[in-house]
């Protein structure tokens, strides 16, 4: 059954429908669907074990995110399908998050997710520990004879040094995929989308991921840490944050390495891998320099 066949067979349409592919997705296939009454987004995607994506968890997180006022409403879900209210707006780019007001608005959504979503979660949910993810990705890459396999021992040694630097963790329910394009600006407010990787973990992963993916400056990083924790970051917080930022960038790079071998989507994963390895190298160097 094709994605369009699945969409046509859903039990929520009024009258004829039109379905147009929605660009930008690098994990799922997404469509904008219009019927006689409404416009919605339909996300088509089964579980993805190599990325530890389980759709029951995405549904639970999406429902809680809407209840917390962060994300659009979930209109329908069934295995392999998630239907969301359509938000009229534009996805953000990294440059948008360099604007102080936009960065503060995005950080506010992240903080609200951490603080408020647990009150609305129902049923079982997943944990997200980036260093387990990295080790699992490495095993997947070795088993698949990935061309990236020779670099894995050094990367895992570096990841181990980052993990040992993290220290105690404040447990929150995180988004764990804070790409700029997962924020939408509707002209009045921001929305936070795509809860595929949501789970319990450290808030520093979201903060470091936001900074790494948007290319924030050290001054902007100091601002988000101060605003999030409501205090100036001390040396211990900076060390943990820099370690988690580097781990976030490495996760994005190794995610892309896995996608190179496992994804059928039309996307330039090798280029994405190279870009994120550069981001990781810079973040790891900054961690080492600060730790010297």
What b/e readout covers 110-137, taking b as 16+ CB neighbours within 10 angstroms? bbebbebbeebbeeebbebbbbebbbbb
Instruction: Evaluate if residue 263 carries a pLDDT over 90.
Output: no
272/286 same-domain check: yes
137/107 same-domain check: yes
111/20 same-domain check: no
Token output for 143: 């088993």
pLDDT at 26: 64
Question: Which band of pLDDT confidence, cut at 50, 70 and 90, is reported for residue 29?
Answer: confident
* Region 113-136 average pLDDT: 98
The domain boundary, picked from 51, 85, 119, lies at 85
pLDDT at 222: 98
Q: Which domain holds residue 247?
A: 90-291
137/12 same-domain check: no
78/116 same-domain check: no
* Region 114-125 average pLDDT: 97
252/166 same-domain check: yes
* Region 86-104 average pLDDT: 97
67/155 same-domain check: no
CATH code for the domain of 189: 3.90.1200.10
CATH code for the domain of 64: 3.30.200.20
Percent of the chain at pLDDT > 70 equals: 99
* Region 30-37 average pLDDT: 94
* Region 21-46 average pLDDT: 87
| Of 29, 30, 3, 33, the residue nearest 17 (C-alpha) | 33
pLDDT at 84: 97
Helix-strand-coil split of the chain, %, nearest 5? 55, 15, 30
108/132 same-domain check: yes
| Segment holding 19, helix H or strand E | strand 18-21
Q: How many domains does the chain have?
A: 2
72/181 same-domain check: no
pLDDT at 266: 80
134/81 same-domain check: no
185/170 same-domain check: yes
Question: Which band of pLDDT confidence, cut at 50, 70 and 90, is reported for residue 267?
Answer: confident
97/72 same-domain check: no
Whole-number average pLDDT of the chain: 95
Token output for 196: 């595929």
Percent of the chain at pLDDT > 90 equals: 91
* Region 206-218 average pLDDT: 97
pLDDT at 3: 86
Q: Give the angle 89-95-96 at the CA atoms, nearest 5°.
A: 35
């Amino acid at each position: 059954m094709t994605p369009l066949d699945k969409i046509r067979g859903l039990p929520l349409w009024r009258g004829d429908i039109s379905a147009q592919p929605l660009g930008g997705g690098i994990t799922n296939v997404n469509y904008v669907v219009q019927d006689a009454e409404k416009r919605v987004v339909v996300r088509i995607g089964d579980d993805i074990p190599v990325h530890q994506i389980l759709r029951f968890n995405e549904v639970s997180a999406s429902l809680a995110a809407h209840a917390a006022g962060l994300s659009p409403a979930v209109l329908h879900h069934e295995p392999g399908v998630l239907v969301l209210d359509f938000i009229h707006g534009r996805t953000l780019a990294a440059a948008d998050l360099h604007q102080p007001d936009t960065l503060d608005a995005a950080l506010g959504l992240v903080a609200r997710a951490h603080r408020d979503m647990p009150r609305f979660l129902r049923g079982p949910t997943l944990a997200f520990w980036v260093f387990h993810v990295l080790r699992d990705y490495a095993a997947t890459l070795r088993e698949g004879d990935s061309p990236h396999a020779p670099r894995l021992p050094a990367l895992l040694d570096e990841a181990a040094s980052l993990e040992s630097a993290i220290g105690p963790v404040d447990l929150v329910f995180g988004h764990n995929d804070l790409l700029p394009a997962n924020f939408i600006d509707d002209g009045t407010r921001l929305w936070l989308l795509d809860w595929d990787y949501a789970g319990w973990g450290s808030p520093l992963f979201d903060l470091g991921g936001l900074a790494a993916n948007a290319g924030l400056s050290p001054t902007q990083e100091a601002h988000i840490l101060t605003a999030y924790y409501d205090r100036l970051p001390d040396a211990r917080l900076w060390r943990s944050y820099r370690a988690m930022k580097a781990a976030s960038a490495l996760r994005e790079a190794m995610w892309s390495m896995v996608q190179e071998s496992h994804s059928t989507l039309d996307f330039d994963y090798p280029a994405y891998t190279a870009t994120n390895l550069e981001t990781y190298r810079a973040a790891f160097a900054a961690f080492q320099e600060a730790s010297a």
